[in-house]
A and B are shown apart, each in its own frame.
Chain A
């Protein structure tokens, strides 16, 4: 079993124009920084990106948007990115905005081998347009389909050579869900350890879901909203 790659460039080398890719993270927290840099360098275009947010103008997925690499964005919240809003309102970029819980659950369904789920989120709103609605116990629910993605690109805190992953704090967010949902899942980790070093009791993503893993480098981990209180 050989899942370990040297770096991001090699791990993403076969991603083609027009691919559907999932990218983990919430805001700039827990995003696959190394792979995004590699995708920008590779210049692959016409991508459909599934990610909760679209980064900021000069970091995260914002870097790919600036290079016009993204054809379509599927997200729940994009308010942090002015360039995104510009491309969207001018019609250059196709966008599907979906409720955050629905986004998470459509990833989860893919990883659980379930074709669809019913959720109450969006009933009676424009999100429900064109969707099958069913009533259970007096309440309406929307049918939402599992995502299909060519690649899922995730970031974890620690990983081992078997592809097992452990996330840190709220940097977990969408990462374990997307890791389960990709036809090919690529994981970048802050610390790659030999098999046997992670406590199996504490593994969040079992290695079966992870096809490629590499030790990331030079993490910037930019903070979007630095908020502090006075000492004492």
Chain B
């Protein structure tokens, strides 16, 4: 069974370590916050100017002045702080944020990422993604293994305009967890019941399979 988006988030959450400052992108990455392992304390950074993001507010407690980078109403946790957008990207650029999780349309085997533009079709803008991928020490991409047409999103090289180059470290898809290595995508784990053969078939970039590949457990 391929993972659903909640399981993708859960798998990524296993990468969190105590004391991490973490920036979670919009979509599946946001869900990672729901699966922070017990006994681990992380601080969530929201690039619109908040460290210490908490859960959504209870109904009736929404505050229009308190949102995350996805423009969703949120809350703060004890020990949080607010700051302006330059300071926010200052802490990102200077490498203070330990882990960045974001979505992608394409990732190449050398770690390039494309996630902001489809020429002639969609122009939403890069938001903070280019700043994040240019500076983050550790970037995990959360995405589906193939696009809606069934084409691989893990490619020899990206076909869409790039967001950043040689920056992605790991990828968690509905089928597998992979690491970007100098030789290509290295298969680390596979989704329960998904065969290595299927992953090979749906990965158009170079795939490295060494030894037995463990199934993910939840």
Contact = CB atoms under 8 A, between A and B. Distances in A.
Interface of A: 26-30, 52, 75-80, 85, 88-89, 95, 97-105, 107-108, 119-127, 157, 167-177, 204, 221-231
B72 A104 contact: no
Interface in B129-180: 129-131, 134-135, 161-166
A107 B86 contact: yes
Contact of B85 (A52, A80, A124, A222): A52
Contact of B71 (A103, A172, A224): A224
Interface stretch (B5-13, B35-43, B61-69, B209-217): B61-69
A185 B214 CA distance: 60
B62 A122 contact: no
23 contacts: A26-B71, A76-B125, A77-B126, A79-B124, A89-B123, A95-B123, A101-B85, A104-B85, A108-B86, A121-B134, A124-B112, A125-B164, A126-B161, A157-B65, A169-B63, A169-B65, A170-B50, A173-B48, A173-B84, A176-B84, A225-B73, A227-B74, A230-B58
Interface stretch (B88-96, B99-107, B189-197, B198-206): B88-96
B93 A78 contact: no
A38 B63 CA distance: 25
Interface residues of B, number: 53
> Which one of A95, A174, A225 has the highest number of Cβ atoms from chain B below 10 Å of its Cβ?
A225
Contact of B93 (A97, A98, A120, A228): A120
Nearest to B163: A125
B73 A177 contact: no
Contacts of A229: 55-59
Given A125-B162, A125-B164, A168-B65, A101 B56 contact: no
A104 B84 contact: yes
Contacts of B56: 227-229
B13 to A, nearest CB: 18
A119 B118 CA distance: 24
A125 B64 contact: no
B84 A175 contact: yes
B76 to A, nearest CB: 8
A160 B24 CA distance: 37
Contacts of B57: 228-229
